[in-house]
Structure 1
Amino acid sequence: MAELFRARGLPVHQVMRRLTALDDQQRFLNRINLLAIDNGAAVGVECKLNTTVEDVCTHLARPDHFKRNFPHFSDMQRFGTIAAMQFEEGIYVLGQSGETIALLNPPAFKPRVW
């Protein structure tokens, strides 16, 4: 995944899995399946086997939750990505390509920035 984003000009330096935010009583607030980070940007990746329109809408609404629940990343530009077969305008899309994954957006794609 890091190589795919580097090829698009986003030099990923860290990839974290299953980041979970809890409140003071240790109750679940939010989870990010994958988070790719470079010096000034964070790419949240939602991994889905079967993606619905509702899944996409939920993911698009998450940047507000992300900023509140993961404040140490709040000054970064945030991008959304779904690792699935469906495409929604404005977010990076990862899909299966043989034994690996591929970035499915065309090279001229411009992601939405939150």
Structure 2
Amino acid sequence: MFKERGIEVEKVFQRVKAHKDGKEIEIDILAINKEYAILIEAKSSLSISNVNEHIERLKAFKIFFPEYSDRKVVGTVAGITIEEDTDKYAYAMASLS
């Protein structure tokens, strides 16, 4: 999927965690190359609240992972089942950024 958009992924990490100032961030899947950091939230059942939580995770990413501060941050969500209108909501939120 990313290759079709011209993003060649070089490394993939699962369940990446970081701690800072008593707070924690966890990324289900982190895919990186020299230009991008792609944060993937994977759920068995994806909801609008999951999308909102992921948006907050995207905003905090460079604070918790300063080693990637030079990368463009891209977020994506995936679910085996997707609650009603969650896909439309995720697309709408993506177009706002």
Q: TM-score, normalised by structure 2?
A: 0.79
Q: Which runs of 5+ in 2 are unaligned?
A: none
Counterpart of 2:54? 59
Greater RCO (Cα-Cα under 8 Å, separation 6 or more): 2
Match of 1:6 among 3, 6, 26: 3
Structure 1's consecutive aligned runs of 4 or more residues displaced over 6 angstroms after TM superposition are: none
Contact kept? 2:46, 2:78, Cα under 8 Å: no
RMSD across aligned positions (CA): 2.2
Counterpart of 2:37? 42
C-alpha distance in 2 between matches for 1:54 and 1:77: 24
Matched-pair identity in %: 30
Counterpart of 1:97? none
Q: How does 1:1-114 map to 2 (within 5 A)?
A: 4-23=1-20, 29-84=24-79, 85=82, 86-87=86-87, 88-89=90-91
Q: TM-score, normalised by structure 1?
A: 0.68
Amino acid in structure 2 at the alignment position of 1:89: Y
Structure showing the higher helix proportion among its residues:
2
SS in 2 for 1:58: helix
1:11-63 alpha-carbon deviations (Å, 9 max, x no partner): 11111111100237xx5511111011121101100011111111111111212
Structure showing the higher strand proportion among its residues:
2
C-alpha distance in 2 between matches for 1:60 and 1:51: 14
Change (3 A) 1:36 1:79: same
C-alpha distance in 1 between matches for 2:30 and 2:66: 14
